[in-house]
Structure 1
Amino acid sequence: MTRPHWRQTGQEPDYRFSLANERTFLAWIRTALALMAGAVVLRQVAGGHPTGPGLLTGAALAACGLAAVLCVFAYRRWKANEMAMRHQQPLPASRFLLGLSWLLGAAALGMAWAVLHLP
């Protein structure tokens, strides 16, 4: 398999840092898989829910959408970190993490409200 052109530039980083970067990538992928599993559960519960499938189906679709975004973000972040290490640059910062934290916090509060107020 040929390596992408960006992996042929710069200096090969210490394998320990590359492996740590890869573990972080895999953690993001596991999070995306957990969101998809949660979406399946929400969709299964939605069919028999008295408020109708709308709210829970919407939450399931949102979880699937977030999982897709996380997969894309995971690869882009892994690649950016790998490129920075190859060129001995500082690792790039990301505002995505702040937005994701706020989004998931709001989702958690919304789910808590639903648990307390929906039949």
Structure 2
Amino acid sequence: MNTDRRFPASVFRYGTEPDARFSLANERTFLAWIRIALALIAGGVALELLGLELHPGLRLGASLMLVSVAMLLPALAWLDWTRTERALRMAERLPGSLLGPALAAAVTIAGILVLLAILLA
């Protein structure tokens, strides 16, 4: 396959082809972040549409937090994938990812909002 025509060129025009297992593992990680984003959307929508007897403002805040993070997650996962794939191709150290800590913080905030909504209902 001509590497000049692969997408994204910003990744595939550099370095040499790494072991396929590493590229496939990087792709599986990207797809796992996409699944997490879908789950967050589902959770945010369900929280708001199920009409639970929770404090409405806090329930809405938690829903918006989950859906907002879910909207950002695919873009950040794509950037993470490109950085990692480029590092693999250049035989460099793998970059660290901020996706885990950012997601943990967002889910913690949403959880606190839901807890407060339960307590203040």
**TM superposition score normalised by structure 2:** 0.81
Aligned equivalent of 1:39:
44
Aligned equivalent of 1:57:
60
Q: Distance in 2 between matches of 1:61 and 1:110?
A: 11
| Structure 1: segments with no counterpart, 5+ residues | none
Contact 2:65 2:110 in 1 (8 A): no
Aligned equivalent of 1:8:
13
Contact 2:61 2:110 in 1 (8 A): no
Higher relative contact order (CA 8 A, sep 6+): 2
The 5-angstrom pairing of residues 14-29 of structure 1 reads 14-29=19-34
Aligned equivalent of 1:102:
105
| Structure 2: segments with no counterpart, 5+ residues | none
**TM superposition score normalised by structure 1:** 0.82
Give the alignment partner of residue 88 of structure 1, picking from 84, 87, 91.
91
Deviation at 1:96, TM superposition (A): 4.3
Contact 2:43 2:63 in 1 (8 A): yes
Give SS of 1:39's match: helix
Q: Distance in 1 between matches of 2:61 and 2:106?
A: 15
Same amino acid, percent of matched pairs: 42
Q: Which runs of 4+ in 1 moved over 2 A?
A: 48-52, 94-115
Q: Distance in 2 between matches of 1:84 and 1:40?
A: 37
Contact 1:10 1:86 in 2 (8 A): yes
Aligned residues: 115
Give SS of 2:50's match: helix
